[in-house]
Amino acid sequence: MTIKSIVSINGKLFDREAAKVSVFDRGFLFGDSVYEVTLTHNQKIFLLDDHLDRLWLSAEKLGIEIEWTREKFLVEIEKCIQHLGLPRVYIRIVVTRGEGEIGLDPALGISNNHVLIVKELPENPKNWYAQGVHMIVADIQRTSKKAMDPGVKSGNYLNNVMAIKEAKERGAFDAIMLNYKGQVTEATTSNIYIVKDQKVLTPPLQAGLLEGITRKTLIDLGQRNHLTIHQEDFSAGELRMADEAFLTSSTKGIVPITKIDETAIGSGKVGPLTTQLSEIYQNFVLSHS
């Protein structure tokens, strides 16, 4: 099946094959860029303000000055959505520090490249949600906040690439990454949660992870529905001994985990609190569609 797509580079639209940036762009050379991913439901952009807030925060932490305004991003994204005319699309927003002479000095980046990749987004496989997925605990360690802060959503994703490579080689859906203390942080593109004795836990930001938009939303929704999600450290051993476990991300929603490494989680089936939180989240999505 051919996936319909369109790319905007600095406000000009290109077909996938014609979309190009310079090999001297710092995003290509060094991963010196920031990005966000969201989607549409019925052509309506999902939680764009939250994603732009995080884009600006990431850029600020890297010292990248974003030249476009928020209003400009909205106009250009809407232009791509209208061009495709599809109800459900993937939206990737990329801002690089720009092109310039080769060298690590950030001052060599002259002007941002603003790239929007918008493409058709098929529905996720139903078995993810009905049966749950198989994860591994990766040998690859999550980068330290004192190295490349995982709280910055940058184009430097090699740490995550190597972890998911390990997962695929072991026949798993994705990898869960630990920090240098052996505490659980997150999966390669998702936040992670466990349920133990009716208590829902997710690692705190201090463990070294990206504050996911869905994570933040779910914590708020849980609070409103008398289901507190506690932000506490837990180990890989505690993860494997959980009664339930699940992932969250903008494009995946809530995905149950029913197996980690060779260990079944709880009964090996989707748990009741995961199901309850999934229903709460789905109702939220519908209200924003």
Same structural domain, 52 and 195: no
- Report whether 106 contacts 97 (CB < 8 A): yes
> What does DSSP say about strands 184-187 and 44-45: parallel, antiparallel, or unpaired?
unpaired
Same structural domain, 257 and 211: yes
Query: What pLDDT sits at residue 209?
Result: 97
- What six digits make up the tokens of 182? 């052996």
Same structural domain, 93 and 16: yes
Same structural domain, 262 and 136: yes
269-284 pLDDT per residue, tens: 999 999 999 999 999 9
Grouping H, G, I as helix, E, B as strand and the rest as coil, residue 130 is: helix
pLDDT tier at 68, thresholds 50, 70, 90? very high
| The total number of structural domains that make up the chain | 2
The Cα 131–Cα 72 span in angstroms is: 42
Identity (one letter) of the amino acid at 281? Y
* pLDDT of 175 higher than 90: yes
Per the prediction, the chain carries an average pLDDT of: 97
Same structural domain, 136 and 257: yes
Query: What pLDDT sits at residue 27?
Result: 98
Same structural domain, 132 and 116: no
Stretch 14-25: mean pLDDT, rounded? Answer: 97
Q: What is the span of the domain harbouring residue 240?
A: 126-287
- What six digits make up the tokens of 171? 């026949």
Stretch 80-109: mean pLDDT, rounded? Answer: 97
Last residue of a domain, one of 120, 151, 185: 120
Q: What is the CATH number of the domain that holds 76?
A: 3.30.470.10
Q: Whose CA is closest to 275, among 223, 204, 203, 227?
A: 227
- Kind plus residue range of the DSSP H or E element containing 72: helix 70-84
- Report whether 178 contacts 203 (CB < 8 A): no
Grouping H, G, I as helix, E, B as strand and the rest as coil, residue 206 is: helix
185-222 pLDDT per residue, tens: 999 999 999 999 999 999 999 999 999 999 999 999 99
Same structural domain, 167 and 211: yes
> What does DSSP say about strands 253-260 and 133-137: parallel, antiparallel, or unpaired?
parallel
Q: What length does the chain have?
A: 289
Last residue of a domain, one of 68, 102, 120: 120
256-266 pLDDT per residue, tens: 999 999 999 99
Q: What is the CATH number of the domain that holds 275?
A: 3.20.10.10
Last residue of a domain, one of 85, 120, 155: 120
Give φ, ψ of 158 to 5 degrees.
Answer: -65, -35
Identity (one letter) of the amino acid at 216? K
Query: What pLDDT sits at residue 289?
Result: 85
Query: What pLDDT sits at residue 2?
Result: 85
Query: What pLDDT sits at residue 141?
Result: 96
Same structural domain, 61 and 170: no
pLDDT tier at 101, thresholds 50, 70, 90? very high
Same structural domain, 105 and 151: no
Grouping H, G, I as helix, E, B as strand and the rest as coil, residue 126 is: helix
Same structural domain, 139 and 282: yes
Query: What pLDDT sits at residue 58?
Result: 98
In terms of Cβ atoms closer than 10 Å to its own Cβ (0-12, 13-18, 19+), residue 31 is middle
Neighbouring CB atoms inside 10 A of 12's CB total 9
* pLDDT of 180 higher than 80: yes
* pLDDT of 1 higher than 80: no
The Cα 214–Cα 272 span in angstroms is: 20
133-152 pLDDT per residue, tens: 999 999 999 999 889 999 99
Same structural domain, 271 and 219: yes
Same structural domain, 83 and 145: no
Percentage of the chain beyond pLDDT 90 is: 98
Percentage of the chain beyond pLDDT 70 is: 100
